[in-house]
């Protein structure tokens, strides 16, 4: 699973992080933190989708995609921006196959965090923690995408190799590929999506 799910430290520079934040922060500040997500997967968050980026930040988005996807991948046009409050958590879940494809990838801004992968059937036997340092890239693919739930731990649980990992507000810039389902399979999926605010 290591080739499909991994973290790459220092994937972006401090200057690139600052540039991304300068572009997304004005939009995020207009949104309030939500206490519950449409599928109850996230607590204390705000999110939006963005299609158009400044050239310097589009270069970073392109680099994320080049690192995490194959050459002929069809990408979702909009990039997902998830702003998690210092006290927020992402609960164990598997992203719906209706809305993204084989890979979920992104970069972490503002804070370190720990992502926990837990097998959907062998919940206590197969557990993997990934340390996601600030400015790192994470990639979930293969078994980690479909056979494991993933979650972002709160500060009380955030421990790496015996050391506490301080948690602060964290913004993720997330890229996904197109779903691979047929129209009929999509209709049979039970999960309903609540629309996310879109801005150009």
- Kindly report, residue by residue over 140-173, the tens digit of the pLDDT: 998 899 999 999 999 999 999 999 999 999 999 9
Mean pLDDT for the stretch of residues 78-94: 95
What pLDDT shows up at residue 123? 83
What pLDDT shows up at residue 40? 73
Q: Which of 35, 34, 59 is nearest to 48 (CA)?
A: 34
- Which tokens in the block code for residue 45? 């968050």
- Kindly report, residue by residue over 46-74, the tens digit of the pLDDT: 999 999 999 999 999 999 999 999 999 99
| Residue 99 pLDDT grade (very low, low, confident, very high; cuts 50, 70, 90) | confident
What pLDDT shows up at residue 182? 47
- Kindly report, residue by residue over 128-142, the tens digit of the pLDDT: 999 999 999 999 998
pTM listed for this prediction: 0.87
């Amino acid at each position: 699973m290591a080739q499909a799910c991994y973290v790459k430290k220092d994937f972006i520079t401090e200057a690139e992080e600052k540039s991304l934040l300068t572009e997304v922060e004005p939009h995020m500040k207009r949104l309030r933190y939500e206490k519950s997500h449409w599928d109850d997967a996230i607590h204390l968050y705000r999110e939006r989708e963005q299609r158009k980026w400044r050239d310097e930040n589009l270069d970073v988005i392109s680099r994320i995609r080049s690192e995490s996807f194959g050459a002929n991948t069809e990408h979702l046009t909009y990039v997902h921006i998830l702003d998690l409050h210092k006290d927020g958590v992402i609960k164990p879940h598997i992203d719906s196959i209706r809305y993204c494809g084989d890979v979920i990838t992104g970069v972490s801004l503002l804070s370190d965090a720990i992502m926990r992968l837990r097998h959907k059937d062998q919940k206590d036997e197969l557990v993997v923690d990934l340390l996601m340092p600030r400015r790192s890239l994470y990639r979930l693919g293969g078994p980690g995408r479909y056979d494991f739930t993933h979650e972002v731990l709160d500060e009380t649980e955030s421990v790496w190799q015996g050391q506490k990992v301080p948690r602060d507000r964290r913004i993720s810039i997330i890229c996904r590929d197109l779903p691979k389902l047929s129209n009929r399979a999509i209709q049979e999926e039970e999960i309903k999506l609540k629309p996310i605010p879109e801005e150009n």
